[in-house]
Amino acid sequence: MGNRQFRDHLHLRSEGTSLLLDCTGDRLPRVLHWGADLGELTGAALTAVATAAAETQLMSGTVDIPVEVGVLPELSAGWLGTPGLSGHRDGRAFSAAFSVRELAASAGNGVVVDATDKQAGLSLRLELELELTASGLVRQRAALTNDGEGTFTLDGLLLALPVPSHATELLDLTGRHLRERAPQRHEFTEGTHLRENRRGRTGADATLVQVAGERGFGFRTGEVWGLHVAWSGNHRSLAERTSGGVSLLGGGETLLPGEIRLAPGASYESPWIYGSYGRGLDELAGRFHGYLRGREHHPGRPRPVTLNTWEAVYFQQDLDKLKALADAAAEVGAERFVLDDGWFRHRRDDRAGLGDWYVDEGVWPEGLHPLVAHVRGLGLEFGLWFEPEMINPDSDLARAHPEWIMSTGGRTPPEQRHQQVLDVGRPEAYAYLLERISALVAEYAIDYLKWDHNRDLVEAGSGPAGVAGVHAQTAAVYRLMDELRARHPGLEIESCSSGGARIDLGVLERTDRVWTSDCNDALERQQIQRWTGLLLPPELMGAHVGPPASHTTGRTHTLDFRAGTAFFGHLGIEWDLTEASREDRDRLAEWIAAHKELRPLLHGGTVVRGDHPDPALWVHGVVAPDRSRAVYALVQTATSPNISPGRIRLPGLDVAVGYRISPLAPGDRGGRYATERLSWWGGGVELPGRVLSTLGIQAPALFPDSLLLIDVRAVRDAENTAKEGTRR
């Protein structure tokens, strides 16, 4: 890659995606095309395509040179939008003009760029690559080094990817505690649509993926481009369109004032910024899923069905009660038992004890050993809840070390949920957490940590001077998780944060699943899981069967709707099974058995979602990689405006193959009307994949808040199936 052709233009290809880079001159690379595969381009053809893509037109009222927007947009190039680099050296060096010193091939399918601005006293190392795994994701990050004299104060570093002018709509996500991942979409107008998070964690209202797309794009239609910031602290993502015709997506870390001050020779490394292109949101999401599944540390064994004790006992922990709960869990087929909040000193409610990571001798005079032995005797794994980054003012730790509470130095931030934030960036606090958690993991051979984080970081100052500390806190938590996993091979960690408030690819580099939401109401979960799936595959999303009446909404749903909603994710139970009826426990065992049988498909297949016109009827499913089998869910989320829901199309099937479709037990009960309407295909009917994915089948009328599972299996070639269908 060291030849002149590489220095001029570079065309990267992977899984239907092309990334065309202009590396001419000594400025930072410019992305000429990111999107659909352009095919094989070499020599003169590559030069011609790149030259055509790079053409710009000078307009009145602008600088007298073409404004070329690099992956780190620079004011010095004439760019007057959001700058890629914001900072200064006591007011000087506020604008950089990086000159490329070297371009080299990266270990992946990409390029490493070393550039410098001698006048500003800065150097930049940029990594840009197109993943060669099954994903076809673009990702980039940058490291900035202070080569000059004195301190350089970095205010922000933003990396960008352009999108074409026909991307005229934007979609991102917002939400709140108990209602995460709510979609919002609108026109991509001129100006900046900025989503900035200052919560100190990813946030329940995080955008997750900033998407630009063709007008009217859906899950299966329209070109879409999405950007994700892989960072668990403060961050920002933006969609920007200028009057000069430039449209881009950008992202990076949001830095608090004075948070990054680079001494001579010091460096700052940005988080990875991921970009995904697709024809429809399913393909965009599938690239993220493929990337995650291709990692060496992606969970490789079947995801254990997990019972978590929170909604069964809350803080009222009792050995006999928990043993009975473990017995019931094993009986229905659970494989992991997780003891939630309330096991450590002084923790009878949420007002005290956080930080005192010692087993409470008053509740557990023999430690957790009797419970752990009982759980393991049933063949279950054992997991334990922690909230390491938080501290109650009413705790032995806070009384011994009040200076470990994050603050500005002159005042204490307002409490949230009766707790403050522990300054993990302080070496002594970090060492305390590492020792305590590691000791407990070793003593009880803990398999799994539920790692919670239940408040925002407000005025998160660190150290005696109370300097801004969110960046250092986030980096320290990453190191803590990494060190615990290194000390205890095989330890799994769940990212929980008031439910789904810490879901990003940064924390998922060191965790094995996320808790998608504290809300187990199946109706709310349908939307939460649907849109969390824009980034994560099902096996990383904790999805539990709650009790008949939801703890958070008070709504009541049937067991089949609750279990069918959790069925596709990392299945679990959040319910006091000791109080469940025998009928319910037997029915739950049926659902768990079916989930285990289908786990390889559910957690290894391609996630698909249909663009059904009736907003009350959702269609989603998982298709095997070879498309030999699929499982779909028809979900009635409300009363339909029409008497008949119409035909539903089953996406993702092989159009050249015939399939047998039939209801899938135990999700084959959709209500009285569904049973009547299923009579024509209830015993199984064969149709070509082309028919199922284009013409579709008549949907049964379902009760609101119910679902139906459909089993689809390849049987023979489409021609024979079509002939048989004609005879019928």
692 located within any domain: yes
Q: Which among 140, 35, 150, 37 is positioned nearest to 88, based on CA atoms?
A: 150
> The domain that contains 161 carries what CATH number?
2.70.98.60
251 located within any domain: yes
Q: Which among 292, 279, 277 is positioned nearest to 219, based on CA atoms?
A: 279
- Where a domain ends, among 248, 269, 293? 293
Between 121-135, 352-366, 411-425, 590-604, the lowest mean confidence (pLDDT) is in 121-135
- Where a domain ends, among 267, 293, 319? 293
**Residue that has been written with the tokens 């922000």 in this structure:** 156
124 located within any domain: yes
- Label residue 300 by pLDDT band (50, 70, 90): very high
Q: State the DSSP H helix or E strand holding residue 439, giving kind and residue range, or none if neither.
A: helix 427-444
From CA 604, how far away is CA 623, in angstroms rounded? Answer: 9
Between 226-240, 278-292, 657-671, the lowest mean confidence (pLDDT) is in 657-671
Residues 253-276 have pLDDT tens digits of 999 999 999 999 999 999 999 999
Q: Does residue 182 sit in helix, strand or coil? A: strand
Tally Cβ neighbours within 10 Å of residue 717: 12
307 located within any domain: no
Q: Could you tell me if 201 and 259 are in contact, meaning their C-beta atoms sit under 8 angstroms apart?
A: no
Beta-strand ranges (E) seen in 15-72 are 17-22, 30-36
Q: Does residue 595 sit in helix, strand or coil? A: helix
- Label residue 728 by pLDDT band (50, 70, 90): very low
pLDDT above 90 coverage of the chain, percent: 89
The pLDDT of residue 680 is 57
> The domain that contains 679 carries what CATH number?
2.60.40.1180
List residues with catalytic annotation: 452, 518
Q: Does residue 347 sit in helix, strand or coil? A: coil
Q: Which among 700, 533, 500 is positioned nearest to 603, based on CA atoms?
A: 533
From CA 104, how far away is CA 80, in angstroms rounded? Answer: 30
- Where a domain ends, among 293, 317, 347? 293
Q: Is the pLDDT of residue 119 over 80?
A: yes
Q: Could you tell me if 180 and 532 are in contact, meaning their C-beta atoms sit under 8 angstroms apart?
A: yes
For range 318-340, the mean pLDDT? 98
Calculate the alpha carbon distances from 166 to 210, 225, 287, 553 in Å.
16, 11, 22, 41
Residues 39-90 have pLDDT tens digits of 999 899 999 999 888 877 777 888 888 888 999 999 999 999 999 999 999 9
- Label residue 251 by pLDDT band (50, 70, 90): very high
- Label residue 720 by pLDDT band (50, 70, 90): low
Q: Is the pLDDT of residue 717 over 70?
A: no
Task: State the pTM of this model.
Answer: 0.96
225: its two tokens? 């481009």
Q: Could you tell me if 339 and 310 are in contact, meaning their C-beta atoms sit under 8 angstroms apart?
A: no
Q: What is the DSSP string of 501-523?
A: S--STTGGGS-SEEE--S---HH
The pLDDT of residue 725 is 46
Can you state the percent helix, strand and coil of the chain, rounding each to 5? 25, 30, 45
Domain assignment of residue 691, given as a range: 607-727
For helices 319-332 and 582-602, the axis angle rounded to 10 degrees is 60
Calculate the alpha carbon distances from 346 to 82, 321, 355 in Å.
50, 20, 10
**DSSP annotation of 596:** H
Q: Which residues pair with 110 in a beta bridge?
A: 129
Q: Is the pLDDT of residue 294 over 70?
A: yes
Q: Is the pLDDT of residue 133 over 80?
A: no
For range 570-586, the mean pLDDT? 98
203 located within any domain: yes
Q: What is the widest separation between alpha-carbon atoms in the chain?
A: 84
Q: State the DSSP H helix or E strand holding residue 45, giving kind and residue range, or none if neither.
A: helix 43-54
Q: Which amino acid is it at 155? A: D
The pLDDT of residue 681 is 63
| Highest-confidence segment of 102-116, 563-577, 704-718 | 563-577
Q: What is the DSSP string of 629-686?
A: EEEEEEEE-S--SSSS--EE--TT--TTEEEEEEE-TTS----HHHHHHGGGTTT-EE
The pLDDT of residue 582 is 98
Calculate the alpha carbon distances from 358 to 340, 375, 410, 420, 433 in Å.
14, 20, 31, 19, 11
What contacts 683, CB < 8 A, 6 or more positions away? 662
553 located within any domain: no
410 located within any domain: no
The pLDDT of residue 63 is 84
Q: Is the peptide bond before 666 cis (omega within 30 degrees of 0)?
A: yes
433 located within any domain: no
Q: Which among 378, 82, 416, 100 is positioned nearest to 252, based on CA atoms?
A: 82
From CA 325, how far away is CA 317, in angstroms rounded? Answer: 11
Calculate the alpha carbon distances from 514 to 363, 452, 504 in Å.
29, 10, 9
The pLDDT of residue 674 is 53
Q: Is the pLDDT of residue 285 over 60?
A: yes
From CA 329, how far away is CA 324, in angstroms rounded? Answer: 9
Q: Which residues pair with 691 in a beta bridge?
A: none
Give me the phi and psi of 673, to 5 degrees please.
Answer: -65, -40
Q: Is the pLDDT of residue 565 over 90?
A: yes
Number of domains in the chain: 2
Average pLDDT, the chain: 94
The pLDDT of residue 6 is 55
**According to the 3-state scheme, what is the secondary structure of 295-325?**
CCCCCCCCCCCEEECHHHHCCCCCHHHHHHH
Residues 673-714 have pLDDT tens digits of 555 555 556 667 899 999 999 999 988 889 999 999 999 999
